[in-house]
C-alpha cells in the first residue's frame, strides 16, 4: 500500500490539519448515524463544558460529546471512536477534583448522565441495580421508605453520580465505619475499549476467579465504561447520636480523634473543621457552630439504642479529657443542620475567595497534629489562606487553599504549596489520595509512592482491559508507564474539533 505524505513546513501543517478535520467530521457523522443526532453534540460550547471538571486542571480538549441512553448506545460510541482511532473518556457529573474527567487529545466524550434509572431494588437481599448516571443522593432518597440507603456519602452527593463514585472509589464522612465505594459494589456491567460487554463480579457471596470488580472500582475510567452497577444497600440505623465537640486549639481536636479510635470505638463519622472553616460555614449556612472555637469535631455514632447511648457517653468522656465543650444534637433537625454545614463547606469558600484548590491526602492518625502544623507553615510561608475540613477518623486530609486566580503569581504559589503538602503527607507515611483519585493532578507524583516495578504492573493490568490504550489515556500513570504519548493524543492535545 502506498501512503501519501503531506509536505513538511507550513503547507504540510495546513494539509495535515485539513486531513484531520475531514476525519473528525466523519467521526461526528458516524456517531450521529449510530446513536442519533439528539444524542451527539459537537459545537464549541458543549465541547468546552466537557473539557474540564471541578479541579484546577486546565488544558482538556473534548471532541464530540455523546449522551447514550443504553448499553448498546455506549457500545456504538466506543466502536465508532475505535474505528476513527480516537480516545474515549467517560464522564458523569464532572464533579471530580483531579482532572480525571478532563479529556486529553480531543477525545470522544461519553456522558452517562442520561443513563439515570434505578433499574431494580431487591429489598430481601439488599441489592439495587442502577445505571451509572444515577445521582448518589437520589438513590438514598429513593430507598428511604424501605429503611435502606447507599452508604458512601461524598460531600458532592447531591450532584455526583454512582458511575463517578465507582470510577474514583469515592468515600465520604460515614465511610469511617461503613467503608468506601468498593465495599458497596457487587457487580459492574462494563463496555471495553473494543465495544465488548463484560460483567465483572456478581451477586454470589464468593464469585469465582480474579476480583476484576475490585480492579475496576477506582480505575478512573481507564479500564472501560460502567453501564450498570449492582450496589449493596445498608439498613438505616435504629438510633443515631451526633455530637459537636469544640476545642481551644487544633492539636487537642486531633489528639481526641486518636484517643477515640484507640479506645476501641469506631464511630460512623468523625469530621474536623478549623476556625476559618467554621466561620465560613456559619456565614453561609448558620448551622450553629461555635465561632470562638479553634477547631470542632462532628462525631456521629449509630446502631442499637443502648449501644449508641454508651458510645456517645464514651466519646464525651474522652473529649472532656482534652478540654472540649460538648453538645449533642437535640433532634433530627439540628443533626441535619450540622451535617448541612459540614457538607456545604466547599461551597462556603466562595464567600471568601472566588477560587479554591481542594487537596486530598491520607496520613496516619498518629501524625495528624504534625502534618497539620506543616500545612499551616507551608501556607503561611507562601502568603496564602487555608481552611481545613476533613475526615479526621481515617486521616483523610482536605486542606482547602482559597485564592483569587486573577492575582498575578498566586496560581503558581497555590500549585507549589500543593506540591509541598503532598510531599509532607508522604513523608509522614501517608498516601496520595483517599477518595478523589489521581487523575492529572497527582499523576507525576506517583513515583514518590510506587516503584518502577509497581507502576509497570499497574500499566500491565490496564493493558489487560484496554489493549488499544484509548480509555482515558494520559491519566494516573506517569510516563513512561503511561500510554499518554499514543498517536491519538494528536500533538500534545491539539484541539482538532473546531
| pLDDT-flagged residues of the chain (< 50) | 1-6, 15-16, 19, 485-488, 490-498
Q: What is the CATH architecture assignment of 118-235?
A: 2-Layer Sandwich (3.30)
CA dist 126 and 265 (Å) reads 26
CA dist 251 and 203 (Å) reads 45
User: pLDDT value at position 479?
Assistant: 83
What is the tens place of the pLDDT at every residue in 23-39?
Answer: 778 999 999 999 999 99
Query: What are the distances in angstroms from CA 482 to CA 41, 305, 408, 478?
Result: 29, 51, 33, 5
State whether residue 188 is helix, strand or coil. strand
Give me the helix-helix angle, 250-262 and 305-321, nearest 10°.
140
**Looking at the domain 353-438, which fold is it?**
Alpha-Beta Plaits (3.30.70)
**Looking at the domain 238-350, which fold is it?**
Alpha-Beta Plaits (3.30.70)
Query: What are the distances in angstroms from CA 151 to CA 29, 109, 148, 185, 393?
Result: 42, 29, 9, 11, 16
Element (H, E) at 30: helix 9-35
What is the tens place of the pLDDT at every residue in 314-332?
Answer: 999 999 999 999 999 999 9
**Looking at the domain 18-112+488-493, which fold is it?**
3.30.43
pTM: 0.92
Give me the helix-helix angle, 250-262 and 368-381, nearest 10°.
150
Nearest to 432 by CA among 440, 423, 90, 79: 423
Nearest to 101 by CA among 17, 159, 177: 159
User: pLDDT value at position 456?
Assistant: 96
Q: How are beta strands 361-362 and 396-397 bridged, if at all? A: antiparallel
Residues 6 or more apart whose CB falls under 8 angstroms from that of 345 comprise 155, 273, 277, 280, 281, 387, 389, 400
Instruction: Tally Cβ neighbours within 10 Å of residue 191.
Output: 27
Domains 238-350 and 353-438 share a fold: yes
Domain boundaries, the chain: 18-112+488-493, 118-235, 238-350, 353-438, 443-487
What is the phi/psi pair of residue 267, to 5°? -60, 160
Amino acid at each position: 500500500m502506498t501512503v501519501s505524505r503531506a509536505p513538511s513546513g507550513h503547507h504540510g501543517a495546513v494539509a495535515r490539519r485539513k486531513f484531520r478535520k475531514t476525519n473528525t467530521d466523519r467521526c461526528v457523522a458516524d456517531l450521529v448515524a449510530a446513536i442519533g443526532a439528539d444524542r451527539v453534540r459537537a459545537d464549541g460550547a458543549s465541547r468546552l463544558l466537557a473539557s474540564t471538571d471541578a479541579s484546577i486542571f486546565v488544558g482538556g480538549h473534548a471532541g464530540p460529546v455523546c449522551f447514550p441512553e443504553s448499553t448498546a448506545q455506549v457500545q456504538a460510541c466506543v466502536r465508532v471512536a475505535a474505528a476513527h482511532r480516537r480516545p474515549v473518556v467517560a464522564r458523569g457529573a464532572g464533579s471530580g477534583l483531579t482532572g480525571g474527567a478532563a479529556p486529553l487529545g480531543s477525545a470522544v466524550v461519553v456522558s452517562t448522565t442520561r443513563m439515570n434509572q434505578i433499574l431494580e431494588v431487591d429489598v430481601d437481599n439488599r441489592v439495587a441495580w442502577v445505571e451509572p448516571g444515577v445521582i448518589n443522593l437520589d438513590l438514598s432518597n429513593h430507598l428511604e421508605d424501605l429503611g435502606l440507603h447507599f452508604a458512601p456519602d461524598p460531600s458532592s452527593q447531591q450532584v455526583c453520580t454512582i458511575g463517578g463514585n465507582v470510577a474514583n472509589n469515592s468515600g465520604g464522612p460515614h465511610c469511617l465505619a461503613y467503608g468506601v465505594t468498593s465495599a458497596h459494589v457487587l457487580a459492574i456491567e462494563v463496555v471495553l475499549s473494543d465495544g465488548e460487554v463484560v460483567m465483572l463480579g456478581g451477586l454470589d457471596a464468593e464469585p469465582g476467579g480474579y476480583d476484576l470488580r475490585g480492579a475496576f472500582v477506582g480505575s478512573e475510567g481507564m479500564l472501560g465504561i460502567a453501564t450498570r452497577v449492582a450496589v449493596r444497600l445498608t439498613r438505616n440505623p435504629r438510633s443515631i447520636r451526633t455530637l459537636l465537640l469544640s476545642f481551644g486549639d487544633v492539636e487537642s481536636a486531633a489528639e481526641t480523634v486518636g484517643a477515640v479510635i484507640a479506645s476501641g470505638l469506631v464511630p460512623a463519622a468523625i469530621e474536623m473543621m478549623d476556625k476559618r472553616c467554621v466561620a465560613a460555614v456559619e456565614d453561609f449556612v448558620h448551622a450553629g457552630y461555635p465561632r470562638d472555637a479553634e477547631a470542632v469535631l462532628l462525631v456521629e455514632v449509630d446502631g442499637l439504642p443502648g449501644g449508641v447511648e454508651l458510645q456517645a457517653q464514651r466519646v464525651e468522656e474522652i473529649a472532656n479529657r482534652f478540654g472540649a465543650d460538648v453538645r449533642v444534637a437535640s433532634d433530627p433537625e439540628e443533626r441535619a443542620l450540622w451535617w448541612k454545614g459540614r457538607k456545604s463547606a466547599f461551597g462556603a469558600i466562595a464567600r471568601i475567595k472566588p477560587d479554591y484548590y481542594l487537596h486530598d491526602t491520607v496520613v496516619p492518625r498518629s501524625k495528624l497534629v504534625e502534618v497539620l502544623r506543616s500545612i499551616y507553615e507551608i501556607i503561611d510561608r507562601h502568603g496564602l489562606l487555608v481552611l481545613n475540613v476533613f475526615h479526621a477518623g481515617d486521616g483523610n486530609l482536605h486542606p482547602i487553599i482559597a485564592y483569587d486566580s486573577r492575582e498575578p503569581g498566586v496560581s503558581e504559589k497555590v500549585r507549589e504549596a500543593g506540591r509541598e503538602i503532598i510531599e509532607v503527607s508522604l513523608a509522614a507515611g501517608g498516601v496520595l489520595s483517599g477518595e478523589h483519585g489521581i487523575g492529572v493532578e497527582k499523576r507525576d507524583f506517583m513515583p514518590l509512592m510506587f516503584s518502577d516495578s509497581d507502576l509497570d504492573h499497574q500499566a500491565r493490568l490496564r493493558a489487560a482491559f484496554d489493549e488499544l490504550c484509548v480509555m482515558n489515556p494520559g491519566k494516573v500513570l506517569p510516563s513512561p508507564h503511561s500510554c499518554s504519548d499514543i498517536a491519538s493524543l494528536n500533538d500534545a492535545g491539539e484541539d482538532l474539533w473546531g
